[in-house]
């Protein structure tokens, strides 16, 4: 059975975090804290999403004076559509018995 | 000290990465300045080093043929690690048929040389040999699946091998010359493994098309 691309829990967590504020540029450290992913997991994911055209990235000037620019990320329109699609499909999935209300 | 170590690690990583990955490593390095805690900064750098190296190895640096070769060589190395365990267990349970088929024949001199070693093999050593073999098998599977965490499995397996050699040095040395058949098999496994590692290092130094980074 073929695997659904970008359907892993880690990827979904990153897509969900980015889709929460679609217009805002997000930074790696913030995303790591928000998703609970380590840098070694998060950045390969970001690279893959960028290579697929789902994520845009740019160096943005730092808010703090005298500091070098930071690399920031946000979803493209395609990425946002995928994130919403993943969120919808997740909600549509049947819940496990332990998650159902008593 | 920890923060300096973190920067040193990231800078080394940046030099080792293919061109299209260097800007991403620069991004990782920049984030270290935003992490208030020194230990967390070092953890960030260490995780980045493992994750990015594994990712580059599995997805970009190692072509399909080399990946299959590496996985095959690793699997054979796992068999080689399992060999002394099976041999010793066969000895302990008096399974002469298995002993003979593994090369520890009753008539040859190698058997007599092996007897005291098999008698000295501790349970811990047996467990470490079998455990390392299992870890190498997982590493080989993850390599074939292009999973970046294959590098972690290799690292853990190699760490156990080093621990085994350090704490069971005499046994470990003898394990390598258990029988002539095992020695020959190990040689056959190590040659392609070394070749694949050399190929990976060489390919890792090649440049790749610029990424989509703006």
- B174 in Cβ contact with B54 (< 8 Å): no
Phi, psi of A71 (to 5 degrees): -85, 125
- pLDDT 10s digits, B153-178: 888 888 887 777 666 655 544 444 44
Query: CA B159, B165, B168, B174 torsion: positive or negative?
Result: positive
Distance (Å) from the alpha carbon of B25 to chain A's nearest alpha carbon: 9
Give the Cα separation of B113 and B7 in Å (integer).
51
Write out the two tokens for A81. 């559509």
Distance (Å) from the alpha carbon of B63 to chain A's nearest alpha carbon: 17
Give the Cα separation of B155 and B140 in Å (integer).
12
Question: What would the DSSP string read from start to end of A56-77?
Answer: EEEEE--SSTTPPPEEEEEE-H
Which of B32, B48, B57, B150 has the highest number of chain A CBs within 10 A, making it the mutation to test binding with A? B48
- B36 in Cβ contact with B28 (< 8 Å): no
Numbered residues of chain A with Cβ closer than 8 Å to any chain B Cβ? 27-29, 32, 38-44, 46-47, 50-51, 53, 56-59, 67-71
- B211 in Cβ contact with B20 (< 8 Å): yes
Task: Say whether pLDDT at A79 is over 70.
Answer: yes
Task: Say whether pLDDT at A22 is over 70.
Answer: yes
CB pairs A-B closer than 8 Å: 76
Task: Say whether pLDDT at A1 is over 60.
Answer: no
CB burial readout A47-72, b (16+ within 10 A) else e: bbbbeeebbbbebeeeeeeeeeebbb
Asked casually if ipTM beats, i.e. exceeds, 0.90, the reply is no
Question: What would the DSSP string read from start to end of B127-161?
Answer: HHHHHHHHHHHHHHHHHHTT-TTHHHHHHHHHHHH
Task: Tell which wins on pLDDT, B193 or B134.
Answer: B134
- pLDDT 10s digits, B76-87: 878 877 877 887
**What is the model's pLDDT at position B208?**
39
Q: In which band, very low, low, confident or very high, does the pLDDT at B146 lie, cut at 50, 70 and 90?
A: confident
CB burial readout A2-40, b (16+ within 10 A) else e: eeeebeeeebbbbbbbbbeeeeeebbbbbbbeebebbbb
How far, in Å, are A51, B66, B123, B127 from residue B87 at the CA level? 49, 31, 13, 13
Task: Tell which wins on pLDDT, A39 or A2.
Answer: A39
**What is the model's pLDDT at position B213?**
37
Subunit contact A39:B44, Cβ cutoff 8 A: yes
Tell me the chain B residues in contact with residue A58 when contact means C-beta distances shorter than 8 Å.
Answer: 214
What 8-state DSSP symbol labels residue B57?
A: I
- B16 in Cβ contact with B45 (< 8 Å): no
Subunit contact B27:A56, Cβ cutoff 8 A: no
Subunit contact B52:A38, Cβ cutoff 8 A: no
Write out the two tokens for B8. 């040193």
Query: CA B17, A33, A14, A19 torsion: positive or negative?
Result: negative
Tell me the chain B residues in contact with residue A71 when contact means C-beta distances shorter than 8 Å.
Answer: 23-24, 26-27, 30-31
User: Which range, A81-95, B37-51, B94-108, is most confident?
Assistant: B37-51
Return the SS3 of B169: helix
Nearest to A44 among B27, B31, B51 (CB): B51
Phi, psi of B163 (to 5 degrees): -60, -40
Write out the two tokens for A102. 């008593």
Q: For a pLDDT cut of 90, what percent of chain A falls above it?
A: 30
Query: Which neighbouring-strand residues pair with A70?
Result: A60
Return the SS3 of B187: helix
Phi, psi of B165 (to 5 degrees): -65, -40
Give the Cα separation of B57 and B63 in Å (integer).
9
Query: CA A42, B140, B157, B11 torsion: positive or negative?
Result: negative
């Amino acid at each position: 059975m073929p695997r659904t691309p970008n359907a892993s829990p880690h990827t979904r967590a990153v897509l969900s975090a980015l889709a929460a504020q679609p217009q805002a540029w997000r930074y790696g450290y913030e995303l790591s804290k928000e998703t609970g992913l380590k840098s070694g997991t998060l950045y390969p994911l970001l690279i893959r999403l960028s290579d697929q055209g789902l994520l845009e990235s740019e160096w943005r000037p730092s808010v703090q004076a005298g500091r070098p620019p930071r690399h920031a990320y946000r979803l493209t329109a395609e990425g946002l559509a995928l994130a919403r699609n993943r969120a919808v499909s997740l909600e549509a999935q049947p819940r496990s018995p332990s998650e159902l209300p008593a | 000290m920890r923060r300096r170590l973190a920067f040193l690690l990231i800078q080394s990583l940046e030099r080792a990465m293919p061109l299209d990955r260097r800007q991403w490593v620069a991004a990782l390095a920049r984030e270290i300045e935003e992490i208030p805690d020194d230990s967390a900064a070092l953890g960030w750098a260490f995780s980045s080093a493992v994750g990015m190296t594994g990712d580059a190895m599995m997805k970009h640096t190692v072509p399909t043929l080399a990946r299959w070769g590496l996985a095959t060589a690793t699997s054979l190395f796992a068999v080689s690690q399992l060999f002394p365990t099976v041999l010793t267990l066969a000895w302990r349970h008096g399974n002469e048929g298995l002993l003979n088929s593994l090369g520890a024949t009753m008539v040859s001199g190698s058997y007599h040389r092996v007897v005291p070693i098999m008698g000295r093999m501790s349970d811990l050593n047996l467990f470490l040999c079998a455990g390392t073999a299992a870890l190498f098998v997982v590493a080989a599977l993850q390599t074939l699946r292009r999973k970046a965490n294959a590098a972690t499995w290799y690292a853990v397996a190699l760490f156990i091998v080093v621990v085994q050699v350090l704490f069971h040095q005499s046994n470990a040395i003898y394990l390598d010359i258990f029988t002539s058949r095992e020695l020959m098999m190990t040689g056959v496994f190590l040659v392609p493994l070394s070749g694949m590692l050399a190929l990976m290092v060489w390919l890792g130094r090649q440049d790749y098309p610029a990424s989509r980074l703006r």
